[in-house]
Amino acid sequence: MKGKLILEDGSSFTGTLLTEATATGEVVFNTGMTGYQEILTDPSYCSQLVTLTFPLVGNYGAAKNFMQSRRSFVNGFIIGELCAKESNWQAEESLGDFLREENIPCLYNVDTRAVTRKIRAAGTMKGIIVADDTPQAKINELMSVPIKTDVVRAVTVEKSYNLPPLGETTAESPHVVCLDFGVKGHILRGLQEVGCRLTVVPAFTTAEEILALEPDGILLSNGPGDPKDVPEAVETVKNLLDKKPIFGICLGHQLLALAMGADTYKLKFGHRGSNQPVKDLRTGRVYISSQNHGYAVDEKSLQNLPLEVTHISVNDGTVEGMRHQELPIFSVQYHPEASPGPDDNNYLFAEFRAMLKRGA
């Protein structure tokens, strides 16, 4: 079935619909060459229409092992060529079958280079996926649907749960409480692999409830949307600042900045991909990172605050990491874990583990 992607400025891109379905959301692009299932199941993409710049998608199929959350939260998928036959020893089904099972509207045979160039030039914008013969009245109706902002509530876990450490299983294993704003499974695994036992709690758990669990440290996870849309979470973080060691990732990094009195802003088209270079200002070393965010911490707003910028983006100079000058608190804007992406940044989990061990 012929279909098309229509952007709010009237731009239109033709393709083929995998199923008879429509979709509405913010159109973003990811530059990674692999990791499409991890992208589709990363809660940080909640309510978005995701475009992949790499032209051939689906060649290694799909498998439960690649899932990063309980299900997909994306509103739609826009790609070039959809590979019909997967070839991988881990594959359990084709990408097409996975998309059908997860009810993800997919438009393929699209000139994704053109879509990406448009978004880079004009910035992220609302878009819809529809059949080619959709009446204009229906198009207008879909385009009028506001983009969902209550996305953290949509992705966070409903009930708390525990995860044991992997490898080290002693009684001295540090206890980390993870505030789940949309956490990826491999972020949790990264902490388990350095010997932490975890309690994952809903995003809107209060500081008092978190401290009652007697954690050795707190993880502020990644997640979707504008950090200013969750003031309750900012208040919770503010009440935890001088209580326990804290590690923030992506949205958690932004929430930490807001809790400290800094500011955040929306990027023109965000950073999304598994090939984003980040420079550690303390050592001069450049790491290749996996990223997925549309907002950033305003570096100017950090002036006169007890926060040191530790990492910056090589591409545009935005803040990619910071550390408190007195308290055991640090954060990064990118994803330390390697799904999808390289494993350059796994050392951050070890740093947090060492911080907990010191009791800092």
Cα torsion angle, 226, 227, 228, 229, sign: positive
Q: Which of 148, 183, 160 is nearest to 44 (CA)?
A: 183
Q: Verify whether residue 337 is a known catalytic residue.
A: yes
107 pairs with which residues across the strands? 17, 78
pLDDT tens-digit map of 231-268: 999 999 999 999 999 999 999 999 999 999 999 999 99
Please answer whether residues 48 and 74 qualify as being in contact, where contact means their C-beta atoms are separated by less than 8 angstroms: yes
The alpha carbon of residue 38 and the mean position of all alpha carbons in its chain are separated, in whole angstroms, by 10
Cα distance between residue 107 and residue 76, in whole Å: 8
Please report the pLDDT score of residue 342 as a whole number.
86
Please answer whether residues 45 and 29 qualify as being in contact, where contact means their C-beta atoms are separated by less than 8 angstroms: no
49: which 2 tokens?
A: 């229409």
Please report the pLDDT score of residue 340 as a whole number.
82
Give the pTM: 0.95
Q: Among residues 26, 86, 320, 337, which one is catalytic? A: 337
Q: Among residues 271, 311, 324, 335, which one is catalytic? A: 335
Distance of CA 23 to CAs 5, 86, 127, 145, 218, Å? 9, 26, 8, 10, 36
Q: Among residues 196, 250, 271, 320, which one is catalytic? A: 250
Pick out the chain residues at pLDDT < 50: 360
**CATH class in words for 152-358:** alpha beta
**CATH class in words for 2-148:** alpha beta
Please report the pLDDT score of residue 171 as a whole number.
66
Q: In a 3-state reduction of DSSP, which class is residue 33?
A: coil
Cα distance between residue 101 and residue 47, in whole Å: 18
**Domain ranges across the chain:** 2-148, 152-358
Please report the pLDDT score of residue 168 as a whole number.
59
Q: Verify whether residue 250 is a known catalytic residue.
A: yes
Looking up tokens 């990063």, which residue turns up? Answer: 68
Beta-strand pair 106-108/76-78: parallel
Residue 35 backbone class (left: φ over 0; alpha: ψ -120 to 50; beta: rest): left
Q: Which of 26, 9, 82, 42 is nearest to 273 (CA)?
A: 42
Please answer whether residues 277 and 287 qualify as being in contact, where contact means their C-beta atoms are separated by less than 8 angstroms: yes
Q: Which of 232, 284, 280 is nearest to 259 (CA)?
A: 232
Cα distance between residue 338 and residue 186, in whole Å: 7
118: which 2 tokens?
A: 């448009």
The helix (H) or strand (E) run that includes residue 161 is strand 161-163
Q: In a 3-state reduction of DSSP, which class is residue 237?
A: helix
